[in-house]
Structure 1
Amino acid sequence: MTISIYALSIALIPYTTLLLPTNIPIPTSLIQPLIAFISFLLLSTILSHTYDILRRPANPQKYKIIRYRDLPGPRATSLIWGLEKDLYDDSPPGRLLERWSKEYGGAYRFRGVFGAKNITLTTPAALHHVLTTSVYLYPKPLGGRLWLGNLLGQGVLVSEGQVHARQRKQLARAFTPQALRGQHAIFERLAEGVVDAWKSLLARSPSSGEGGEGEGTTIDVQYWANRLSLDAIGLAGFGYSFGSLESAVEGTEQHPLARTFDKLTDSSGTYAAFVLRAVLFVWPGVLRIPSKRTRSIGEVRNSLGGEVKRVRREADQEGKTVIGILEQQAAAEGSGIADEEVEAQIMTLVFAGYETTSTAIAWALYELALHPSSQSELRAQLRLSPDYPLLLDAVIRETLRLHPPVLDLHRMAEQEDLVPLGEGKALWVERGTVVYVPLNVLSNEGREARWNPEQWLVPTEGKERERDIQWAFSDGPRVCIGRAFALGEIRTVVAALLREFEFAPEGEKEVEPFYSFVVRPRVRGERGSTLPLRVRRAA
């Protein structure tokens, strides 16, 4: 088709006068401009198709090529923001992505800020290509990497290409089953600390009655989950106790690093925050513009850097911590590792590790509070056996399905590429196109919206069973390296709390999800993240 248009355009150029209408009188003064205009159109067609041919990606598989313009998708609601503001304001978060995926299928387009090209992909062939086989051709958007890099340094969350592959390989030894086995005692000790603290709270509460088995008391489980998870990542990650649980019990001030991260991540967002986030994708240079927001990022980075240096000096690296194993391996190989990189990995562990895990714990307890039959059955099974029952894993899987901490991944094509879509088709992705991978959509494909942990108890093939939970942690070479660590912590904490306590919703307070850095719970009408539940001693 392209060759035909190309040849026809060339052939018609000498005969442009024949293309003029004969039934309409045209002034002599307009004939030459019209001829020039028609010639321009024909030449433009030639040049456009020549450029199209020259930059088209190789297609040895002879795919039927689909272009961006051929994809279905929703119309932009704003000339400036496209559909980015709609996604930012979406409530509950992720609902629009679910609706669009149902309406437009496994590959659709939508415009972003200033008309930027965005593509959402959910077909297996496309996901395997973008997240696995060609993962380093689709890095995180530059603006996002610069923002994270300014905060955390060049750790495994920010790095790309060969640097990421090297860092990933170095860290992998710290997350093997053997290495993680030693972390279980840390999770148990911290969970016991929360149990003891809550028993004390119930004992002091007049409504709890003798033994704490009365009406119970209201506890912000998100607050306590945050404190526990921060201590867990500190002790297991680099041998340092933030003392978060201790300060929660005693009512003393939090560790400066904990306060800094909470201030950074526990926010429902402002219009200024949205603008910065949206513009970053198309214009990373916005970070260099002096503003209150960019100054705040610099201040946070300086604060984090100073605290991490102090934490590293005071940390006990004798044990088998994540950073300890990393440094031991580098020393054994004679390669060494720069102080800046070690500190970047520490900040990455704290930033990526504690918040995602703590929100998963909070959402699990919330769903169990809403579904007392599931709660009672799981408690009975936990008390019958010292081992973790299959129902506990089913509850965790169901929680991550309904409440994935991260809604979607963003990747940007670094070059022209053909992405397989299946059925002999491939999508031509132009350089600079942002690819959305909606994890919440993938986690829910083929499943009902209602709470149903029993569905995970149906026997399935091993690989399929693992795949069902995978999407909450991404996939491919960039899959969350702390996946097993997070699941181990969630399992230990939920089991310990459920053996001892019953959970129920708190009166008329309506809990809603909101998107900050992860999808957190909060009471409707409030800004900060809280999850008040009614807690009493279990009979």
Structure 2
Amino acid sequence: MLRQIASLRALDVVMVSGVTWILLKIIRTTRRRLRSTPIRGPPNPSFVFGAGQVLLKAEDPGAVYEKWVAEYGLVFKVPSALGKSRIVLFDPKAISHFYTKETYTYVPTTLSRNLTEMVAGRGLFWAQGDSHKRQRKQLTPAFSNAAIRNHTAVFYDSAYKAKTSWDTILDSSENSTIEVQGWLDTIGITGFSHNFGALDGKRSTVADVFESFGNATPSPLAIAFFLLAPFFPWLVKLPTARIRLAHKLKASMGEISQELLARTRQEKEGNAEGEQEDKSIIGLLSKSRSYDNAFPAATDTHLVQMRVLLLAGYESTSISLTVGVFHNNATLPFSHAFGFGQWALIRLSQNLDMQDKLREELTQFSNTDPSWDQMNSSLPYLNAVVHEVLRLHPPVQETTRIAAEDDIIPLSDPIRTASGNYVDYISIAKGTLVSIPMRAINRSEVFWGADAKEFKPERWLDEAGITGRAKELQGHRHLLTFVDGPRMCLGKGFALAEIKAVLSVLIKNFAFELPDGPDTKIELARGVLPRPKIAGEEGYRVPLKVRRMN
């Protein structure tokens, strides 16, 4: 009898808990609807997956977004999984408002933070609010203009090491094709005083893990997992292949971080081998007095920040010198340090006249290398090429955040609501998902004109070349590549200086062509971040025909 009573009580508890959960969901959903502006958007093609599958299967998700903009205006609602929805912002004023309030009002979802902690720990990418503000302040000295000037010589040193290696390859082989992606390893040396081995033709565990992410073709089950995980965060605890890779990546970065921390301690104690001062990002960070004051016992904090910088820097810097995508709420926040060389070499190989024009501009520094100041003031076409690559190829395609509190978002242009009224602001209720598709906006004809999809560096040669409504966009040079506001890319200046330095060396000394000419098909490999590959090549492969210029 007692067992029966205990069983009934347990069942009652389960039933009451279930009913309470359902009632809370109903109350929260009702509150959100009452406090939110009724926004129009495309119909829901699937209750289970929403419009996620439509965007994932589209060859160009940006074209899908532009179609919705044309039909519903610069702010619209997109169906998500399990009957949920998210608000998409294309409106410049709304985007500026969103970025201004990011980290306090608009914060990563539970899933996004769990994934970030799983891979990079509780560092800058994971932190929110005052914690983020404090950590960013501690990291800032490593990315100052003075620090970037100190790094410039190392950028050049790494570029010339690659040049020497390529010269050896061209001397010893009649085959002039070089797989450039594996050589672009500057960030590993400059940022962390750690050589990942690419310049010596070696492979690293970190590189192998990133490639494994891209080599695996997502199965229907993986896609379903990906679309549903934002609503069931516990799914990331399952031992899937990609989750195991994420743990392997974190372990590899932890080993490198331990090595770097030990080296920094030796230098502080005067026991470091060699007399060369460590001017890397980690070296500058470790010597920051404010950092030491804030964290007297900084071992764990140092390791977390090293993993954050390593993950962002290693992956994204190598991507752009030749670049699937985590989408919607699962977008990992690796959007704060970019390099762009891979795409630059691809674009210049598709447009040989532009490559020649850039090389001609660089001849003024035939006997020397431009300083950091000269790169910014004396090389307008190099600057134009780099910014056009930034515009067309942001590593992270979209950011989704959840409203931590009710908010009012102002609009540049009135939109028509689902009830037929026109409004110049929208009400956002706590718990609402809000997305900004950066890549789509960077390429949108609404902002950049009819030639928005074209690679056209000339648009950057003077301010008059920025046509359409692009000037209404905030952020670096009207681009959303580095985002804006309190989470604007801390390594922006670092990335720009690095790509300019490396490109100046490579373009002065080599001519690049695609294997089958300018019409060679390039596609995106779906990995941690979008990386380019030549169609038909295994993994992340960008083999280019390389010819010496002297």
1:477 aligned to 2:437? no
Give, in angstroms, the shift of residue 426 of structure 1.
Answer: 2.0
Change over 3 Å in CA distance of 1:374–1:313 after alignment to 2: same
Q: CA separation in 2, counterparts of 1:146 and 1:504? A: 42
CA-to-aligned-CA distance 1:202-252 (integer Å, 9 cap, x gap) = 122225xxxxxxxxx112222222xx2xxx333333322223211x1xxx4
Flag the structure with higher helix content: 1
1:305 aligned to 2:254? yes
Q: CA separation in 2, counterparts of 1:514 and 1:54? A: 39
Matching of residues 138-149 of structure 1 within 5 Å: 138-149=106-117
CA contact (8 A) 2:177 2:544 kept: yes
Q: 2:196 aligns with which of 213, 235, 242?
A: 242
Matching residue's letter, 1:485? F
Q: CA separation in 2, counterparts of 1:503 and 1:470? A: 27
Moved more, 428-437 or 453-462: 453-462
Matching residue's letter, 1:95? A
Give, in angstroms, the shift of residue 515 of structure 1.
Answer: 3.8
CA-to-aligned-CA distance 1:268-315 (integer Å, 9 cap, x gap) = 544444333322322212223454544444444334334432343246
Instruction: Give the match for residue 345 of structure 1.
Output: 305
Give unpaired runs (5+ residues) of structure 2.
1-25, 268-276, 320-339, 415-422
Matching of residues 493-504 of structure 1 within 5 Å: 493-504=502-513
Instruction: Give the match for residue 542 of structure 2.
Output: 531
Q: CA separation in 1, counterparts of 2:124 and 2:216? A: 25
1:395 aligned to 2:395? no
Instruction: Give the match for residue 513 of structure 1.
Output: 524
SS at 2:191 equivalent: helix
SS at 1:512 equivalent: strand
CA contact (8 A) 1:503 1:536 kept: yes
Give unpaired runs (5+ residues) of structure 1.
1-46, 57-65, 208-216
Instruction: Give the match for residue 220 of structure 1.
Output: 179
Give, in angstroms, the shift of residue 118 of structure 1.
Answer: 1.0
Change over 3 Å in CA distance of 1:319–1:300 after alignment to 2: closer
Matching of residues 163-242 of structure 1 within 5 Å: 163-206=131-174, 217-225=176-184, 228=185, 232-242=186-196
Give, in angstroms, the shift of residue 170 of structure 1.
Answer: 0.6
CA contact (8 A) 1:129 1:420 kept: yes
Instruction: Give the match for residue 86 of structure 1.
Output: 54
CA contact (8 A) 2:211 2:540 kept: no
Instruction: Give the match for residue 457 of structure 1.
Output: 461
Computed over aligned residues only, the root mean square deviation of the Cα atoms, in angstroms, reads: 2.9
Matching of residues 265-280 of structure 1 within 5 Å: 269-280=218-229
CA contact (8 A) 1:522 1:529 kept: yes
Matching of residues 272-421 of structure 1 within 5 Å: 272-314=221-263, 318-328=277-287, 329-330=289-290, 333=293, 335-336=295-296, 338-359=298-319, 360-385=340-365, 386=370, 387-388=374-375, 389-421=379-411
Q: 1:118 aligns with which of 82, 86, 104?
A: 86
CA contact (8 A) 1:330 1:336 kept: no
Moved more, 417-426 or 376-385: 417-426
Change over 3 Å in CA distance of 1:104–1:324 after alignment to 2: same
Give, in angstroms, the shift of residue 260 of structure 1.
Answer: 3.2
Identical-residue share of aligned pairs (%): 30
Change over 3 Å in CA distance of 1:264–1:480 after alignment to 2: same
Matching residue's letter, 1:97? Y
Moved more, 504-513 or 491-500: 504-513
Change over 3 Å in CA distance of 1:437–1:429 after alignment to 2: same
Change over 3 Å in CA distance of 1:141–1:537 after alignment to 2: same
CA contact (8 A) 1:410 1:436 kept: yes
| Number of residue pairs aligned between Structure 1 and Structure 2 | 462
CA contact (8 A) 1:139 1:160 kept: yes
Q: CA separation in 2, counterparts of 1:533 and 1:193? A: 18
Give, in angstroms, the shift of residue 178 of structure 1.
Answer: 0.6
CA contact (8 A) 1:129 1:135 kept: no
Q: CA separation in 2, counterparts of 1:296 and 1:514? A: 17
Change over 3 Å in CA distance of 1:300–1:496 after alignment to 2: closer
1:137 aligned to 2:139? no
Moved more, 180-189 or 85-94: 85-94
1:158 aligned to 2:167? no
Matching residue's letter, 1:86? V
CA-to-aligned-CA distance 1:345-391 (integer Å, 9 cap, x gap) = 11111211122222220111111111111111110110124444100
Q: TM-score under structure 2 normalisation?
A: 0.77
Q: 2:212 aligns with which of 249, 258, 263?
A: 263
Q: CA separation in 1, counterparts of 2:48 and 2:73? A: 26
Instruction: Give the match for residue 95 of structure 1.
Output: 63
Give, in angstroms, the shift of residue 53 of structure 1.
Answer: 11
CA contact (8 A) 1:256 1:307 kept: no
Give, in angstroms, the shift of residue 169 of structure 1.
Answer: 0.8
Q: TM-score under structure 1 normalisation?
A: 0.78
CA contact (8 A) 2:190 2:281 kept: yes
Instruction: Give the match for residue 323 of structure 2.
Output: none
SS at 1:100 equivalent: helix
